[in-house]
Structure 1
Amino acid sequence: MSQNKVKILGIAPYEGMKSIMARIASQRDDIDLSVFVGDLNEGVEIAKRNISSNCDIIISRGGTAQMISKITEIPLIEINISVYDILRTIKLAENYSEKYAIVGYPAIITSAQMLCDVLQSNIDLFTIHSKEEASETLKNLKKQGYKMVLSDMITTTLAKRMGMNAILITSGEESIKSAIDQAVKLYKSYIHVKEDNKFLEEIIRGNGDNVIVFDSNSNIIFDSITSEDTDTIIELLRSELPNTLKLGSHKIYKTINENLYTIRCRRILNQEREYAVYYFRYDKAPTSGQLSGINYYNKAQVEDSFFNSFFSIINTTSKNHYDIEQLSLSKSPIMLTGEVGTGKSQMANLLYTFHPYSNNPLVNIDCGLLNEKGMKYLTTNTNSPLLDKSNVIFISDLQKLSDKSALDLLALIRDLDLHKRNKLIISCVNTTEEPKLSIRLEYMNKLQCSNIHMDPLREKIEEIPDASSLYLGTLNLDTSNQVLGFDTDAIALLQEYDWPYNYTQFKRVLNELSVITTTTYISKENVKSILQKETAILSNSSTAQIDSEDTIHLKLDSSMTLDDISKEVIKRVLKLNNDNLTTTAKQLGISRTTLWRHLK
């Protein structure tokens, strides 16, 4: 590696910016770029861990850049947001049908105002100067009926936490190129000589996967922790510090959140000062909770799962007419019903986050994965979560249990008063078939469950344009593609489709459309091609099923109208499916609404 290359530490607030920075760097021979993804405090921690790696200049954006500048003397270049960046985001929001505004720091709003004047646009603009002001502004906007904001990373994060939709104003390639050019120019304007730090070299030579160093006053002076249990491990090692300074070298073992930590402790002297150095590795600890179908998740894991899920991104749960928080706080068990792919598991995650028991783990009993060993553990082991209290217990996919196992579990729940000692949430796929329907009703009646029904996507087609825009905005953060929306009539095709696998299928189709689209807008032809493929897969499967069970023979009369023939075909297929409307609609490639219309 040439010695005259500028060593740049890039800290991007989102994955898409990292990809663009890496691509630009690969096209230049005068820089050596190391780029990471982290926003605000996470970005600061990344900077702390990497500023010792001989970097010459740091490049970041917005609030993250301002925070990093306060913890290091290394020169920092901030990536500016250009007028074109704002225009690109406004175009992405064109399909959004509800009230929205642009919220940002003065640099963003000044450019946005000029752009709105040129475009003669009436988008509402709100200026903020701090994270606290951003939070207060968003609260007021939400009260005034605003549903979405176009904003920087800080405001976008706050908006999503408040249940609002948000599209991040991303930095385009031209803005990032400009920042890198400034970094190179700044570096060449001065000579910065660095001395090797022998103390840190000695620490790193310890060969630990993770390293943390404290001074004798318990202050952290270096760390390279990648563990998910960072805060817990830091507090553990702080409590171990007096022992380390007294004993010198020793080892400790500790299980934290199902991880088994092996920690090697050392006392090192540097310039007559004492330091405690800890090297540690960790692996999954074997626990009974890891039995097939039984898992424990802490609050951070559940929140991460929900807030990064498709359902959170498109904000579908906030549009549910149920008072989610009130139902979560009630004493009644909750039965989540709906078709496959309607988001029952993510609704359970959201209910958990609202409940006072969320400081304890979420216990997930997945009936689809629960084997005989797992069922035996639940019913006989003294460590069974069914014997515990003050937890949120989520029994998912109840319909996948055998009829006998489902009824045995219900009897056990009642005998142990499980639903009175814990918050119980149960999910079940809708069916009108016996005996699954009777078992579901037995649970609801015997446990006195409140019901949350998750509507299928075909009954909420009016949400498809907004949901598509929001999810495309998120996809743009993870790739260097910048898809801004759909061509004319492309959205209409999505709304006309039946979506038998609901939001799960919808997300997969949007992902595929984003991948195959090479232009700024997704074409009607691409949408039509993808949906035809989806229909063909389902039709082939459905046809095989009908052929294996019966053959439809129709005696046609010349006086019969097309509606008469359609109605007769529907009646025959309905009979083959034991009057199951959903299965019949899927086989015929029509919606339940169309099916009902033909049967009237």
Structure 2
Amino acid sequence: MEIKTLLIAPYPALEHVMEECLKIDHELNMHIELANLQEAIPIAKEAEKQGIEIIISRGGTAQLIEQEVNIPVVDIHVSGYDMLRVLTLANDYPGKKAIVGFSNITIGAKALTDLLEIPIEVFTIEDAIEVEPLVNQLKIDGYQLIIGDVITRDAAAKYNLEGILIQSGREAIFEAIKEVKSIYRMLRKQRLQMTIMQTVIERQLSDVIVVNGEGTIVYENWAIFDHTQVPVKKLINVIHQKNNLQEELDIIVTNQHKRIKQMMVPINLEGENHYLFAFSLLDELVEESPLHIIDVPTQPVIISKSERMKRCIDKIDSNLSNHYWILIGKLGTGKKQVSKLIHYKKNRGIGFLGIISAAAFLTMKNQIDSDIKSIYFNEIEMLSASELRLFVERVRKLHALGITVIIAIDTIDTEIYHSLSYPDFIRIDFPTLSERKEDIRPLAALFLAAFHAKFGTSAIKIKEEALQVLESYTWPGNVEELYILIRDAVKEEKGFVIGKRLIQQLLGDRLKKIESIDKEYLQGTLVEIEKRIIDAVMEEEQYNQTKVAERLGINRTTLWRKLKQ
């Protein structure tokens, strides 16, 4: 724990005493400035802006600062030891003596002078402007020695009187440091409570438990359930199994065989990790539900340096009030990632995104969980004409539940296009990666950084000549193919830079296969050419339709249709 602290010392000696104390106590990240009264205010205000958590000062300077800032100000009090030292020093001084200062000094001084019968008068002021007139009057009254704070000593010097500064010793400094630590602990606890409550309110959570890394419960609240649905020991095991601080959503089974949602939200406060677990009921979610539920807590990164992708993103931003979307693009163009963006922007990160095939949606009997705000449908091309009509009817009903419908298709199919009543849908046409070459470099950089963070790989840069190879390739698998290529490259590269040779090696087979297409394939009609190519690739891939679809850059459904022709 390092507490960001500023000492504003009204006199130089205080700075030196503090430095000596800090050699013993290392918990304060201390910055020291020398300033008194009004000149200390701008320093304090700037320190607050720079993230200083607590300010230490003394006397009138501390009181002035406290009125101007919104962070705690600790006043270094004048201890009994400090007062005894100065009274002992002044006791043998000839002539009339007086102590002048604010009540934080004079109350203790009066008690000691009365108790010890020391012949020193004590005068209390309420404002700094009172000091000079009072000292002037004391001179007129025959006083020769004035004891007090910095402003009192300076006033005595102005009127040619002797002045003794009441200094704070090590005892007072250590007491102030102790107070700083106590305030800091309280502030940390308050900040944690505020962070927890903010998370609970923003997420609309009701049943939560918060534990720290050691398993100590720091907060819990139960509404639906009587207590935590998972033993704290199991929650700690969940924490220890995580290698990174990422929010996660799980479906768990309780001891009572209830299926519930468990959301884990990490909270990092000043370097200390806490974990909020929220529990909520699922609406009749069966174990083998075809609906895949994901949470999108932060806005997905979509690279859109190219004009084609910029238009896609602009169209999304201009139509966020709409509840129906059609995403048209070949396999691997990023439709699912953009569906996350639509979901996030429409719902501001609240609620879940469901992913399901159109056919599975028609056979799904269980209710849709109330936390699902968007559903992404794929494989709509697999539906028959009658199934398509039923699908459209059911999709319409989702609007009443406040659910955004996002439908992904590979190409514009006339039957599907008309069945969906296009005017109700916002259509987003995705370019292939070869049609948005300006995005290849930033995409590669994004994937490189992501894999570096995820796997701890050493590669941090791609050479220019390697980037040129990436830009020259046709990318039949689109963005997903580039993603896989960069993943393979960072795992294979042991140095810091990915070069041309490695990229060429990884692309080699694909480049050769593309170049090996014989001219005879180009004879005949488009349908005949297409059939030859599909048959040849099917044979090379030993009739594995998944691999064939990947090589040809089409959806498995589209391949299936073409094979049936």
Q: TM-score normalised to the size of structure 2?
A: 0.44
Kindly indicate whether structure 1 or structure 2 has the higher relative contact order, using CA contacts under 8 Å at least 6 residues apart.
Answer: 1
